[in-house]
Each structure stands twice: as C-alpha cells, then as structure tokens.
Amino acid sequence: MARHLSEFVDILEPRRNEFSNFMWASREVNLLLPNRQIKPVAPDSHKVNVFNSPRIQLLIERIAQEQGVSKAHVEDQVRLILDEIGFKMSLTLIRWLGIFLAKFTCRACSSIYVNQESLNRVKSQLGNTPTVFVPSHRSYADFILMSYVLFSFDMEIPAIAAGMDFHGMLGMATVLRNTGAFFMRRIYNNDVLYWDTFRQYVHDLVTHGDSGIEFFIEGTRSRSCKSLPPKYGLLFMILRAFITGEVPDILFVPINISYDRVMEEKLFAFELLGVPKPKESTSGFFKALTIVNENFGNIYFEFGDPISVKQFLGSKLKRLQHGMRPVHSQELLDEEKAEITHLAENIVHCQQKLAVITTFNLIAVVLTNSLTMNQNIMRFEQLVVETMWLKSILAMCGAVVDFDYARKNIKAALDVHKNLIHMDADSNITLVQNAIVLSGLKESKAKLKGHDLSENTMTVAVPFVMLQIYVNPTLHYLINHSMVVAIITNASEPIVEENLFEEFKFLRTLFANDFFNLNQHLHIDLLGSLKILKDLNAIKEEAGVYVISDNKKVLQLLTHLLEPFLYSYFVICSLLNNLSSPTFEEKAILAKIQEKLEEMINSREEFVHPYVLSLDSISMCLLSLVNLSVLKKSRVSGAYKYEINSDALFGLTTQIKKYVQHKKTLRAQITSVLKNKL
C-alpha cells in the first residue's frame, strides 16, 4: 500500500491550541486493550502467576535441593527477582506525565507526526489477540514518546521491556515502573533462577496479559541510525506460548520512529569514536532537560500492518510434537528458532520500509558528497538544487520524503541543525568544527574502547560522524544501487548478469551487518537496482553486458556512499594480513585499526572520510569476517579473542581490493603487504 505524508497528523497542534493541557490529559478515556480479558488484569497478578507456575515451583525445589538450602530461602529469592522485574500501571501518573510531555515536546519539537491512517488499521485488528509493539530504536526518547502517542490515541500503554540502566536511577525507576516498564538484565551470569523467572514472567504477559508488550528488537539504540540485526532472546520467550499452543496467535506491530534531529547525536558520535557513554543517572536526566531550549524539529511515527505469527509461520511449524510433554517443560526446537529468526528479520525489514526521510537526511547526503570531493563550502541555492535532485532519486526508490517546500524546508532544517551546519550572511554553507577538549570526556584511558584519538582528530571527526548519522537512514534505499555501481565500475571486463549476481551476493554478504537486508530478496533487490539505475541512465545493457552510462552525477554519489565502508574494510583486512601473530584480542585490534586509520586521515594526502574511525563499522567488519570463517572468535578469561585463517583472509583482501579506488596512502602503506604475501 502506497504511503503518503498527507496521512500524517501533528499531535502537538491541538496541544498548542487548547486552553489547558490538563483538560486533555484528565479526559475520560476508555483505553483500547490489545487483548481484552474477561476480568481486568492487575499488573501484580503476573508476579503471582509466575510464582505459582509449575515451572517455577519445580525450579525452586530443584535449586533448594542442589544448593542445600531451605525452599523458603529460594522462594524469597524468586520474590525479590519478581519485584525487580515487575511493572505497575498508574493512570494518574500517566496523566501527569502526559501533561509534562505535552509541554516539553511543544517547546522542544516542531511537530510529532503520526500516520493516523496506519494507526487506525492497527487499532481495527486489536482486542482479542496478544499484541507486541516493535518500534525502531534510535533514542532513549523512543519508549517515552511511544507511550505518549498511544495515550493520545486512547490506547492502553503496554508492558515495556527496559534495560537495567534505568533501574538504578533514583526516582526515575519508580516512575518508569509505574508507567509500564518491566526491567531485564542484559547479562544473567548463568543465574538459572533469574533466567527462568524472567522467561516465565514474559510468558505470563503473553498468555494472561491484556495490555500488550513493547520491546526493541534491535536490542539497543542504534548509534549509527542504521538498522541493526535483530536480537532473538526476548522474541523466543514471547513466542513460546504460541509454539506450545497456549495462545492461538500473536500480532507483531512494526513501528518506525524517524527524527529530524536525534537528541543524543553528539553522544552517539563520541561513542562511535570510542568514548564511553556516561552512566545514566537521575541528576544526568534533569541536566539533560535543558535541551528543552533547543529545537529538535519533527518526529514521525509510522505503524506497519500487524504481522500474524500464525499466518507468517503457518505450516512451517509442527506444533503436535509439543503435545508429548507438559506445557511448562516445553522448550523451542532448533528448527523452530530458525523460523523465528526469519520473523525477526522481516520485522526489521518492515521497520526500514516505514521510515520517513527528512529534509536534513537529504542535506546530509548532499553535503557529505560535496565534502568527499574536498568542496568544503556550498552555496544555499546550490544546496536547494541538489536536495531537490536527490529527493527525486529517493522517491524513485520508494522512500517517503518530507520535502514539499524546498527553500522553506531547508532553512528550517538548517535552523534545527545550526550546531552542525552554519550558513553565513552570504549564504555560504559549511560544516561547523568546534575545538573538542577531551579532558572531561575521557574518564580514563582504560575505559576507552579503541585508540586514544587526538583532540585534533576528534575535532575533525565528530562533525563528520554526526553528519553521517543522518546519511545512514537513506542507505536502505541507495546502498544496493551503490554496490551494483561498484561492481560494474571496477569490473576488469564487461560483466553479464550471472557474474553481476555473484559479485552482488558477495558484497551483500560482506556488508550484511552494516546494511541489514533480507537474504531471500537478494535477486529481487538486484533486479530492482538494475531497473532504477537504467532509468537514471547510470548504467546500460548492451548485448547482455552491463556497462556504465552517461549520468556521472548519480554514479559519483553512489560511489561516495559506499566508499568509506569499502575503504575501512580493506584497511582492516590488510592490517590483519600484516599481523605478526595469527591471534589477537578484540580491544587491542580495535585500537590498532583506529590508530592506522587516524594516520591515514591526518596524512592529508587525500580525503579519507572520518567515519572510517567508527568502532561500530569496525566491529561489524570483524563480525562479518567471523561469519565468513576468515576469523574464529572465542572468549578467554572474559576477553574476546580472534584467530586468523590466513589463506581465507588473504583471498578476501584481494577480493575487496578491486573495489577500492587507488588511493596513494593505500598504495604506500598496504600494497607492499600484499606483494610479500604473493
């Protein structure tokens, strides 16, 4: 179904125009429950159900016997765990938070747009089925704003999976718990009692809950603002009730939250460069409220059609095999987990398709393309022309773009991002580079995740990384085209579709963690890219052979989008080729890679995009090398170690090399390594 911005409504407009936000927040509401029960379900009843469940009672007896302690002692531990986990729900507190959020967002945001048409389609399917809301995760504001949106449309706030980062925040933990948050530890340390109690708690939310569940399938905020590969742990817990036949179906609602400006943008840039994130605290939260004086532009909520697990998995599951044992002793089988991973991947894919590309996303791509060509100043009128051109390309690729009034939209976006982009009185646009002092950011060198980058490097890199954060949401629509262009441009001989497909498959596999895509769509995606590139006159087909065509502007743009990732992957592989030992520790190699890339950036012989320093991208490369059996990863004494498959690494390095433009720094520093290997 085609999506249009006309379907979005601004939920802040009525809040700004009404006499009192208190009247709105205290209105009489009959909140829509996703899975209405015969009797209302009190939040504390879930803890009672879990404690009395056969699974937990048998576990209590077993642990008491194994540890030689009393059953009452283990029961007390279970109660403490349930108190740590369990959520509450106070409508009074929700109303007061509604007032606070109405006032806060009206000051800090221009608009919060919600696709009312898509939300109404979701609401029409709720009422009789366990429902799971699955938003994208780009900011801590996501779950707070989700609750605000649901309350605005008279929907019950779900039980929200929250990390333990918030549990230690004095006062805030209580507020979050009373507005639906249930807390989960990220690390269980083989604590079977906690693990099974938490799993049973989630199970009870599915089988007996009426308010639905909300969790972030990516597991954590994406600091890069790209889609992360899904995590499966909580999903397995949720789906156990369906697999064992305790519920007839479960609905998953994919949701995309798109931001004009992410509130943590600068912190994300520092984290990507290796500076540890500050510990969450209540005092830090109140200090952060000073952002109310800044402008964060628009926020967009788009709801996808609910995905029925029953329809998605269908006959792929053989649920009868679970009828041989009591329900409480059932576990998911490996083949069931494999099918569930496909569901998780489809949810993330739906989130990607629901994105709204903002005006500043366009500006970020245009400016990055210009900066890559060492054009550090752009005129406003040129920016208008380039962004209009880019919008037309993204529209061809199926993106919904909020860019109807070019000059007005661009000026508004530049005002929102004046901390990053400066326009002077002569309408010259430049990237802001403020000197960065690291003394207050680096708590200690031991806590750094990578190399101790210099203040000069950080001053250069931070604004580039911040800008790339806004480029990344567009890559879902453009990266496949970039790969095709890279293949055809660097082919040593004219390439036919069969060979093109093999190279496309290689690049998609190589960058599978950096750019999330569905593997089963591989051939469809290639054909779609070929069609669009032909329509753009970027490539052409002659007698079954694909060659570059006349639209150099598009070719240049697509080349520059992929270049930092190809460059960093090649440098990483080349560096690993030159290590004296076939084994290395993760932290040491992250620092070594960053150090080498810093040297290349500071050599100034040619432009190297500072985003290559991103630890996120470096880590994704190492993960890809593990998946390709180039590296073998293990954990020894709490530290991750890697072992190199030298032959596979050299072969991969040679394969990537042909995609990297012949940069002087690479020829000088890396080619000798490959010659020695040969």
Which range is least confidently modeled, 21-30, 43-52, 490-499, 661-670?
661-670
Q: 395 Cβ partners below 8 Å, 6+ apart?
A: 401
> 529 in a domain, yes or no?
yes
Counted domains in the chain: 3
Report phi then psi at 310, rounded to 5: -60, -45
Question: In terms of domains, do 428 and 525 share one?
Answer: no
Question: In terms of domains, do 409 and 300 share one?
Answer: no
Question: In terms of domains, do 184 and 93 share one?
Answer: yes
- Check if the beta carbon of residue 593 is closer than 8 Å to that of residue 618: yes
On average, the pLDDT of the chain sits at: 90
> 662 in a domain, yes or no?
yes
Question: Which amino acid, 437?
Answer: V
> 132 in a domain, yes or no?
yes
3-state DSSP assignment of residue 646: helix
pLDDT 10s digits, 255-311: 999 999 999 999 999 999 999 877 765 555 555 566 667 899 999 999 999 999 999
Question: In terms of domains, do 244 and 118 share one?
Answer: yes
Chain centre distance of CA 646: 32
Q: What is the pTM of this model?
A: 0.92
**Would you tell me how many other CB atoms lie within 10 Å of the CB of residue 386?**
20
Question: In terms of domains, do 415 and 506 share one?
Answer: no
Question: In terms of domains, do 496 and 456 share one?
Answer: no
3-state DSSP assignment of residue 29: coil
Per-residue confidence band for 227, with pLDDT thresholds at 50, 70 and 90: very high
Give the residue from 452, 474, 496 where a domain finishes: 474
> 404 in a domain, yes or no?
yes
DSSP labels for 168-183? Answer: TSTTHHHHHHTBTEEE
> 487 in a domain, yes or no?
yes
> 395 in a domain, yes or no?
yes
pLDDT value for 670: 39
> 240 in a domain, yes or no?
yes
> 269 in a domain, yes or no?
no
| Host domain of residue 463 | 357-474
Nearest to 420 by CA among 359, 372, 468: 468
Give the residue from 453, 474, 495 where a domain finishes: 474
Question: In terms of domains, do 321 and 401 share one?
Answer: no
Nearest to 547 by CA among 504, 482, 485: 485
Per-residue confidence band for 444, with pLDDT thresholds at 50, 70 and 90: low
pLDDT 10s digits, 173-205: 889 999 999 999 877 767 899 999 999 999 999
Question: In terms of domains, do 307 and 387 share one?
Answer: no
Question: In terms of domains, do 616 and 504 share one?
Answer: yes
Give the residue from 430, 457, 474 where a domain finishes: 474
CATH of the domain at 166: 3.40.1130.10
Question: In terms of domains, do 417 and 521 share one?
Answer: no
Question: In terms of domains, do 390 and 488 share one?
Answer: no
- Check if the beta carbon of residue 397 is closer than 8 Å to that of residue 497: no
Question: In terms of domains, do 462 and 535 share one?
Answer: no
